[in-house]
Structure 1
Amino acid sequence: MAAPVVATLSLTASDRAKSRHRFTADDGTPIYLNLPRGTVLRGGDRLGGDDETVIEIVAKPEPVVVVKAQSSFDLLRAAYHLGNRHVSLELAPDHLTLEPDAVLEAMLHQLGGLALSTATLPFEPEAGAYRSATHSYSPSHGHDHN
């Protein structure tokens, strides 16, 4: 039988990339994450604790820029230029999503053929090929786990 989900932890994309950090679960429970370096959590991931409980990760909505294009080539070209700048980027067949950045937005406007809009959405950027598959957490006990 699967362990019960005891809490949810809503985190932004930036927070989901922190391997060792104290957070507060959505119900107010303090949580200390002590994950392998380089771990990137995604919405829907579940973390198993030492006491066999489970915390479910929720991709917290955050401000983003959504990029749409007049053609698939224009979208591909935008992804190429953003990739050259090592930008965290969420890919979809018909749009790209990135964190707001005035310099990058100006570059995208200069490329032409693109429509940019702002939104508040869960942001799930590409995590890369080396994403860890096993995660755990430690309940916070008011002392340092470092």
Structure 2
Amino acid sequence: MIRATQVRGSHRWSEPPADTVVLDFDDRHRRRMVMTGTRGLEFLLDLENAVALRGGDALVLEDGRLVEVVAAPEPLAEIRCNDPQHLVRVAWHLGNRHLPTQITARGLRIRRDHVIEAMVKGLGARIIEIEAPFDPEGGAYAGGGHAHAPADEGHGHAGHDHSSHAHGGDPHHESGHHHDEHCDHDHGHGHSHAHDHK
């Protein structure tokens, strides 16, 4: 059986794919697994390490052909908050539980979980039940995020460009927080200071 041994990020390929695989979040984080494309191409995903695949990535077969990865729609809860500070507070509670969370322009998305949804409602947020591809932020649970993408590709890395992605924005930008020379930051030596340029 032919193997897929490499992954190309969504911005690193443009040729027509030989086939397409539609995968949910769990199946997009595998190292070794037999897969069948929508057109019937069967192959073995055989990576050196498990990689968190994103919709739009391509699996590279041994003969050079590509198989496009499509993120399957899943039952999700979209969390809407009153303001950016409220959003950050809810996001902190989700992060404290190491819960895979997707950040979008409108709010946060998690997989349906009645216990977590009750907690979120208790924090004053609203829940909207949706079906959509789940593309959470990279993190410890995903092996450090999009491990095969260079840092300039903008998949959840610090220093990424702030253009709009299909997998959402950044809560800092929802609040109009922009990093510039006038911004207060804690520089790790016990106190914060502003750079005053007058």
Report the TM-score when normalising by structure 2.
Answer: 0.62
Q: Which has the higher strand share?
A: 1
The answer for unaligned runs of 5 or more in structure 1 is: 135-146
- 1:3 deviation in Å? 5.5
> Which residue of the partner structure matches residue 10 of structure 1?
22
1:3/1:53 contact within 8 Å kept: no
**1:33 aligned counterpart, secondary structure:** strand
Q: Which has the larger radius of gyration?
A: 2
Greater relative contact order structure (CA < 8 Å, 6+ sep)? 1
Select which of 122, 127, 134 maps to 2:138: 127
Aligned to 1:144: none
Distance, in Å, in 2 between the alignment partners of 1:106 and 1:34 is: 40
Quote the offset at 1:14 in angstroms: 1.1
Query: Relative to structure 1, is the Cα distance of residues 36 and 78 closer, same or farther in structure 2, using a 3 angstrom cutoff?
Result: farther
**2:52 touches 2:145 (CA, 8 Å); kept in 1?**
no
Q: Is the 8 A contact 1:3 1:52 kept in 2?
A: no
Alignment of 1:63-102 (within 5 A): 63-102=75-114
User: Equivalents in 2 of 1:99, 1:29: separation in Å?
Assistant: 30
Deviation at 1:6, TM superposition (A): 0.1
> Post-superposition shift, 1:66?
0.4
Indicate yes or no: 2:56 matched with 1:40.
Answer: no
Identity percentage of aligned residues = 34
Report the Cα offset of residue 5 of structure 1: 1.1
For residues 64 and 31 of structure 1, the distance between their equivalents in structure 2, rounded to whole angstroms, comes to 29
Describe the SS at the equivalent of 1:105. Answer: helix
Aligned: 1:53 with 2:65: yes
Amino acid at match of 1:17: H
Q: For residues 134 and 128 of structure 2, what CA distance do their matches in structure 1 show?
A: 14
Point out where structure 2 has 5 or more consecutive residues left out of the alignment.
Answer: 1-13, 150-198
TM-score, normalised to structure 1's length? 0.83
Which runs of structure 1 show a deviation greater than 6 angstroms over 4 or more consecutive aligned residues?
none
Whichever residue aligns with residue 98 of structure 1, its letter is I
One-letter code of the match for 2:129? T
1:20 aligns with 2:32: yes
Q: What does the per-residue CA deviation read over 1:102-145, in whole Å, with 9 as the maximum and x for residues that have no partner?
A: 11111101111x110111101111123453217xxxxxxxxxxx
* Structure-2 separation of matches of 1:94 and 1:130: 22
